[in-house]
Amino acid sequence: MVLLVGVLVTGAVQADPLRQGRAQDLAAQALAHEHGEGVARDLERAAELYCRAARLGDPESQFALGWMYANGRGLERDDEQAGALFALAAAKGHEQAARMLRFTGDGGGRSPSCMRGGGGFLAEASGDLESRINRLPADRRAIADLVVQLAERHEISPTLALAIALTESAMNPAAVSPKNAMGVMQLIPETAARFNVRNAFDPEQNIRGGLSYLRWLLAYFEGDIALAAAAYNAGEGAVERYRGVPPFRETQAYVQRIMQFVQHPEHPYDSSVVRPSAIMSTLRPVALALSDDS
C-alpha cells in the first residue's frame, strides 16, 4: 500500500471538477484513517470513505478499497468484491488494478456492494430506525424514499438523513412546530431563506434545503455528527457558545436519539463548503489526546 500514498489524493476522477474535489477530499480522509495520520487509525472508517469516493468514480479509491478486500485489510477477505472494484478501476486505465485482476478475477461482472444504492441504504442503521420507517403509512414511506434519493445527491449518509427527518417530523410534509419550523426537515423561515427554499411545504424543496443545511453543518463541525445534529436542533451559534452539545434538555435528547439511529460518531464532509468552526481547533486535539491515552 505504500505506493498508494502519493497518488490517492491526486488521482483524477473522470467527472466534473466539483465531483472530483469531493472524491479527492474523501480519499484524503480515507488515507488518513487508514494510516492513522492526524486521526486515530480506523480501517473500517477508511473503507467507508474509500467507498464513498469510489462511488464518485475515483479509480484510486476503487483500487484502494479493492486492495483492502483482496488482503483482508480491515475487512473480511472477499476476492469477488476486490475483483469487481479492480475491474472498475482498470476500465479507467489504472495499471495496478489491471494487474491485480490476474489474481482476483473481475468479480463475475457483478457490481461491488458499496457501489449499489437502493435497498442497502439502511445497512448501517439501527434496527429501530428501520422498523420505524417500515411502520410509517405508505405516503410517509414515499417521503422516506425521497429523503434517501436526495441524500445521495447531497453526499449525506441516507441513514443520517432519515434519522433527522424522522426525528424532526416523522416524514410529515405538512408539519408545523410551535416555533414555526415547517415541513419534513422542519425548516424555520430564516433557514429556508438561507438555502433558497421558496415553498417549505413542498417535500422536495424542503428536503433539499434541510440536507443543504446539514451538509453545511457537517463541514462546519468537521464531520462530528453529534455537533452537527445539535446545531440542526439548536443552531450552530448555541453549539459554539457551549463548545459542544448545549445543555438544553430538548437538544440533549435530540442528539441522543440521532446517535442511537446512526451509530457512528463521524461523517465524511466536504471541506470546500465552509471553513470549520473556530471551536474545532481546540476540540479536536482534546479528542485525539483522549484517543491516544486509551
Full 3-state SS string of 218-244: HHHCCCEHHHHHHHHHHCHHHHHHHCC
Question: CA nearest 61: which of 118, 108, 12?
Answer: 12
Helix-helix angle 249-262:127-134, to 10 degrees: 100
User: What does residue 17 show for φ and ψ, rounded to 5 degrees?
Assistant: -60, -40
Active site residues: 168
Cell 438523513 appears where? 161
Return d(Cα 65, Cα 53) in angstroms, integer: 10
The three grid cell numbers given for residue 202, joined into one nine-digit string: 413542498
Q: What one-character DSSP code corresponds to residue 182?
A: B
Q: What is the C-alpha end-to-end distance of the chain, expressed in Å?
A: 27
Return d(Cα 217, Cα 100) in angstroms, integer: 40
